[in-house]
Amino acid sequence: MRYQLELDEAPHHRYWLIDAASLPPHEALRRYYEGVESPRFRWLYEATPYRAAQEAGPLLLDITEAGDFFRRYRVEWLHHAAALVIDTALPIDALQHHLAAAVRVTLPGEGQGLLRFHEPMLLHLLLGEGLLSAAQRDALVGPGNRWAWALCQHSTGTLYETYRVAAGDAPGLAPSLNIDRATLTQLTAIERLSRLMPLLGAALERFDRLTAPPEISRLWLSLADYWRAQRERGTPQKQAVATAQQMLAQAEGWAALLGRLEASASS
C-alpha cells in the first residue's frame, strides 16, 4: 500500500534517518540516549567524501526497540527535521554502507552533487511519482527494504507514503546516480514546498480523501505546480501560502479546489 495512516510493525529492524542538524545542537542524540535502553546509531556521511562534516549531516538511529521514543519525537520534530523510516533485515552497519553509496549524484553540467534523499518532498517525486526509473528506485531502496516518510499531518495523526522493494536481486547502486536536467528542474521547483503540506493534510481530511491514493497524488502535484508558478512570478512564499489557504477555505468541493489551483498555476 503506497499510503498509510499508520505504519505497521517492522518484521526485522526499523531505523530512522533524521536530519539532526536541523534540530538544536545535540538534541537528537541527547533525546535518543535518554529515551532508548540500548542506543545504536551511525552518521550517514561516515566513510564518504563528506565525512569531515558528518555531524552536520543525517543521523541513522536504530529504533527497532524504541517505539515510544519514535512515537513521541516523530510528531515533535516533523516540521523541523526531514526524516525517513527504513524497515529492513540489514544490520545497522550494512544499511549505513548502502545509504552512503547513494549520497553522491551526477548532475548535468555540474559534476558531482549531494542527494538529500531523506527529504519527503524529493522522495515523493523520486519514488512515489516515479521520477527515477524502476531500476533506480529499487537500487536506491534496496531488496527486501521498505522506506516510509511523513507526507502530511491531519487532525488525528500522520499520513505516510511508502515504497517497498521485494526481496531478491535488485540492481546494485551505481558509483553515482545520474540525475538528468529535467529531473533536476523538477526537484529544484519544489524547494520549500513543505510549507504547503499542512494544506494538503487539511484538504485531504476535509474532502475525505486520506485513503484515496490517486487523489492524494493529484492534489500534491497540483500544489507543486501552483508553487512552481508562484516562484516563477516572484510571489513571496508567505503570500503564496495564504492564497492557497484562501482557495481551500472558499472551495465548495474537491473538484473546485483542484480547479482553483490548476487555474492559478496556468494563468
pLDDT mean across residues, the chain: 91
pLDDT at 169: 65
pLDDT computed for residue 219 by the predictor: 97
C-alpha cell at 196: 504547503
Top mean-pLDDT range of 19-28, 160-169, 247-256: 247-256
Structure-model confidence comparison of residues 10 and 251, the more confident one: 251
Residue 176 has a pLDDT of: 65
Confidence label for 177 from pLDDT (cuts 50, 70 and 90): confident
Does pLDDT of 159 surpass 80? yes
Phi and psi (nearest 5°) for 101? -70, -15
Distance CA(146)–CA(86), nearest Å, equals 6
Tell me which of 67-76, 166-175, 211-220 is least confident.
166-175
In the sheet that holds 3-4, the strands lie side by side as: 3-4, 157-164, 146-154, 83-88, 13-18, 59-62, 41-43
Per-residue pLDDT for 109 more than 80?
no
For the segment 117-140, the average pLDDT, to the nearest whole number, is: 92
